[in-house]
Chain A
Amino acid sequence: MDLIANLSLGFGVAFTPINLMYAFFGCVLGTLIGVLPGIGPVATIAMLLPATYALPPVSALIMLAGIYYGSQYGGSTTAILVNLPGESSSVVTCIDGYQMARKGRAGPALAAAGLGSFFAGSVGTLIIAAFAPPLTELAFKFGPAEYFALMVLGLIGAVVLASGSLLKAVGMIVLGLLLGLIGTDVNSGVARFSFDVPELTDGIGFVVIAMGVFGYGEIISNLSQPEHEREVFTASVTGLFPTKQDFKDMAPAVLRGTALGSALGILPGGGALLSAFAAYTLEKKIKGRPGEVPFGQGNIRGVAAPESANNAGSQTSFIPLLTLGIPPNAVMALMVGAMTIHNIQPGPQVMTSNPELFWGLIASMWIGNAMLVILNLPLIGIWIKLLTIPYRLLFPAIVLFCAIGVYSTNNNTWDIWMVAIFGVIGYVFIKLGAEPAPLLLGFILGPMMEENLRRALLLSRGDWSVFVTRPLSAGLLAAGALLLVIVLLPAVKNKREEAFVED
């Protein structure tokens, strides 16, 4: 079996002491930022990207991946104990998780989230291992027209994910695409929109945008609101283990959440957030056993399903990145950046040209998930203590890490001035209710889209119908159109708005 040979290669890579160490480091850091509200995986990965220059590429990616899925674990802790989503994907976990904690059942809620996440993470890893090779085969059949169509589909997916107005999200994507075009045009060598500033001919660094908008913008906005009174249920975390009845209730919910999350994670624009929302909605629709605690009052299924789903989704969202080289969400967009830093061109050729990287990363995800269960369940006390750190000690540290990270990308103060500008822009976005995640995705995809559009139309001699006459490309565009129609249907539209209002 190829799969077993591949996985054993992967585990061979992942089990080296250095990679184990970086996986562990990533998981700890991921849990940490997951637990702390106000800082998410996007800003953290952006901050740490420059620091990975010195590492071997496999170790760097293993660590960054660990931060992403680790933050999904940590986010649930805060959601359950403080009723604040530590991560955006834990928003729905708050609803039932916090109610369980209030009833003195914080332990079982944390266990349900942790064990569900571990199960989902393991399944997600297996799905990547099983589905990546055939998808890679398919990817080699992709021409520029298909890539362009796929990116359009991905960007539409990102719109569906955005919580505010659809039109604004589309606008943010286009704005991101435009920002991505700043710099030297690879085909003609013309420096576009650079205003004769030498630093701008290289384009704007995505680290700068990510940190400015997600780091500084968020901090400024957080500070403008009075600090939430945090009611932490520290004393009540006793009796971690769920009862037999809890297990019976949560097992099917975990399975459903995992299945749904895995499927939605692969979709362009999908990932942890969408998966968690969908899983909670599904769980509410399914009738439980008679006499069960109603949803919204501490139903264990309402914790297990979305937590499994967000973990499965965060794992499988690596599939489009690893097979097609196309990032499905903002975190994956940063992973593209991490790969390019190490001179790895993301895409189907990664698996053949860097098999140890590809399989090592996948194997490390399973190891990381196992580490996370240990980190999050027996050691929960440490993380709870962290929750008592006030924000006023945290935000100067975040500002510092952003500034240091941004400087070390190029050892150039230019980037520090740029991040200041994007910090202001990020705050403007928040004030205007425009979501920045689609912007970052557009920014990464901008140059790729232009390149593929040019090539496709060059091959077809300027005939735009090439996008609909090639079956694969037509299919992808049709899927995108279908997605848009579904979202715009009045019934779905109202549901979607309702779902996002709940947070």
Chain B
Amino acid sequence: MNIKSQKDFFCGLMFMAVGGAFAWGASTYNVGTGARMGPGYFPLMLGVLLAIIGAAITFAALVVETEGGGKIGKIAWKPLIFIILANVVFGILLAGLPAIKFPAFGMIVAIYALTFIASMAEAGWKLKTTFILATVLAVGSYIAFVLALKLQFPVWPSFITG
């Protein structure tokens, strides 16, 4: 049997897996009855429903002819990794990781790091432009978020400000 639509096939599998997981998880809570629903009732219902929908989508993906085969196509690893990494590094630098005693470097350092890592997601990024962009963003964010909106951020590294 051939997969007629790759996208739908895997989408259906995803729904089945997630629905099944939720239904299984829900069944470990008190399900109760219609009149007295326990915490497991509604999620169990929805989980089963999602699994059924997933099964139907997967089945259709095997049977119904789709134009071009509904190919998923290449995964854009480079943007995916750099964008997510930029975000995670920002979080670590901004507030530190107390679990491994990594100090907080504060917002300014974190913004420079984020801008550089995110820019690398695209081919042909330039050091100078990125540096200017990071500076503009750092100054702008400081004015907008810290001075104007008075949000609570660690701005400078904790080992400098104490």
Q: Using A171-B57, A177-B46 as known contacts, say yes or no to A54 and B150 having CB atoms under 8 A apart.
A: yes
Q: Tell me the dominant secondary structure on chain B's binding face.
A: helix
Say whether B10 faces chain A, with CB atoms less than 8 Å apart: yes
Known A-B contacts A167-B57, A216-B87; A174 and B46 likewise in contact (beta carbons under 8 Å): yes
Instruction: Name the CB-closest residue of B to A216.
Output: B83
Chain A residues lying within 8 Å of B75, measured Cβ to Cβ, are 431
Task: Judge whether B94 and A413 touch: CB under 8 Å.
Answer: yes
Question: What is the bound-complex CA distance between A177 and B72, given in angstroms?
Answer: 26
Q: Is the CB of B94 within 8 A of A407?
A: yes
CB pair B87 A420 closer than 8 Å: yes
Q: Is A424 an interface residue (CB 8 A)?
A: yes
Chain A nearest Cβ from B45, distance in angstroms? 9
Residues from 157 to 194 in A contacting B, C-beta threshold 8 Å:
165, 167-168, 170-171, 174-175, 177-178, 181, 185, 187-188, 190, 192-193
A416 located at the interface, meaning its Cβ lies under 8 Å from any Cβ of chain B in the complex: yes
A402 / chain B contacts, CB cutoff of 8 Å: 87
Question: Do B72 and A424 have beta carbons less than 8 Å apart?
Answer: no
> Which of these, A190, A416, A428, contacts B30 with CB under 8 Å?
A190
Smallest CB separation, A115 vs chain B (Å): 33
Q: With a CB–CB cut-off of 8 A, which chain B residues contact A411?
A: 152
Task: State how many angstroms separate the Cβ of B43 from the closest Cβ of chain A.
Answer: 5
B38 to chain A, nearest CB (A): 7
A175 touches B15 (CB 8 A): yes
Given contacts A54-B149, A168-B11, A432-B11, contact A190 B39 (CB under 8 A): yes
A171-B53, A392-B119, A433-B70 known; A193-B25 Cβ under 8 A: yes
**What is the 8 Å Cβ interface bit string for chain A, positions 410-447, against chain B (1 contact, 0 not)?**
01010011011001100110011110000000000000
Residues in B neighbouring A190, C-beta threshold 8 A: 29-30, 39
- A458: chain B residues at CB < 8 Å are 35-37
Q: Which residues on B sit within 8 Å (CB–CB) of A427?
A: 76, 80
The reply to whether A174 and B53 contact each other, CB–CB distance below 8 Å, is yes
Interface pair B87/A419, CB less than 8 Å apart: yes
Complex Cα–Cα for A431 and B42 (A): 29
A417-B91 in contact (CB<8A): yes
**Contacts known (A178-B18, A190-B30); A171 close to B39, Cβ less than 8 A:** no
Known contacts A178-B50, A392-B125, A393-B133; is-contact A424 B7 (Cβ 8 Å)? no
Which of the residues B18, B125, B145 comes within 8 Å of A404, measured between beta carbons?
Answer: B145
Cβ contacts under 8 Å, A192 to chain B: 25-26, 29, 39-40, 43
Contact A223 B50 (CB under 8 A): no
| A175 adjacent to B137 (CB under 8 Å) | no
Tell me whether A4 is interfacial, beta carbon within 8 Å: no
Q: Which residues of A contact B18 (CB under 8 A)?
A: 175, 178
Cα distance, A181 to B37, chains bound together (Å): 14
For residue B139, which residues in chain A have a CB less than 8 angstroms away from its CB? none
State whether the Cβ of B84 lies closer than 8 Å to any Cβ in chain A.
yes
**Contacting pair A462 B33 (CB below 8 A):** yes
Contact A433 B111 (CB under 8 A): no
Interface residue? A247 (CB, 8 A): no
Cross-chain contact B36 with A408 (CB below 8 angstroms): no
In the complex, A220 Cα to B74 Cα: how many Å?
13
Question: A418 vs B44: C-alpha distance in the bound complex, in angstroms?
Answer: 24
- Tally of B interface residues using CB under 8 Å: 73
Question: Contacts A223-B76, A423-B84, A431-B73 known; A403 to B91 CB distance under 8 Å?
Answer: yes
Are B15 and A416 in contact, CB atoms less than 8 angstroms apart? Answer: no
Say yes or no for B90: interface residue by CB 8 A criterion.
yes
- On whether the beta carbons of B42 and A423 are closer than 8 Å, the reply is no
**Residues of chain B contacted by A434 (CB below 8 angstroms):** 11
Q: Does B106 contact A (CB under 8 A)?
A: no
Contacting residues of chain B (97-156) with chain A, CB-CB under 8 angstroms: 107, 111, 114-115, 118-119, 121-122, 124-125, 129-130, 133-134, 137, 141, 145, 149-153
Within 8 A of A (CB), among B15-60: 15, 18-19, 22, 25-26, 29-30, 33-40, 42-43, 46-47, 49-50, 53-54, 56-57, 60
Contact string against B for A residues 93-131, beta-carbon threshold 8 Å, 1 for contact and 0 otherwise: 000000000000000000000000000000000000000
User: Which residues of chain B are near A407, meaning CB under 8 Å?
Assistant: 91, 94-95, 153
> Which of A75-83, A250-258, A267-275, A449-457 lines the interface with chain B?
A449-457
* Assembled-state Cα–Cα distance A400/B144 (Å): 13
Chain B residues with a Cβ under 8 A of chain A: 7-8, 10-11, 14-15, 18-19, 22, 25-26, 29-30, 33-40, 42-43, 46-47, 49-50, 53-54, 56-57, 60, 70, 72-76, 78-80, 83-84, 86-88, 90-92, 94-95, 107, 111, 114-115, 118-119, 121-122, 124-125, 129-130, 133-134, 137, 141, 145, 149-153
What residues make up the interface of A, taking CB atoms closer than 8 Å to B?
50-51, 54, 165, 167-168, 170-171, 174-175, 177-178, 181, 185, 187-188, 190, 192-193, 216, 219-221, 223-224, 392-393, 395-397, 399-400, 402-404, 407-408, 411, 413, 416-417, 419-420, 423-424, 427-428, 431-434, 449-450, 453-454, 457-458, 460-464
Please provide the 3 A-B residue pairs with the shortest distance between their CB atoms, ordered closest to farther: A462-B35, A224-B76, A416-B91
Q: Would you give 14 A-B contacts (Cβ < 8 Å), ordered by A?
A: A168-B57, A178-B19, A392-B119, A396-B115, A400-B141, A407-B91, A413-B92, A416-B88, A420-B87, A453-B37, A458-B36, A458-B37, A460-B35, A462-B36
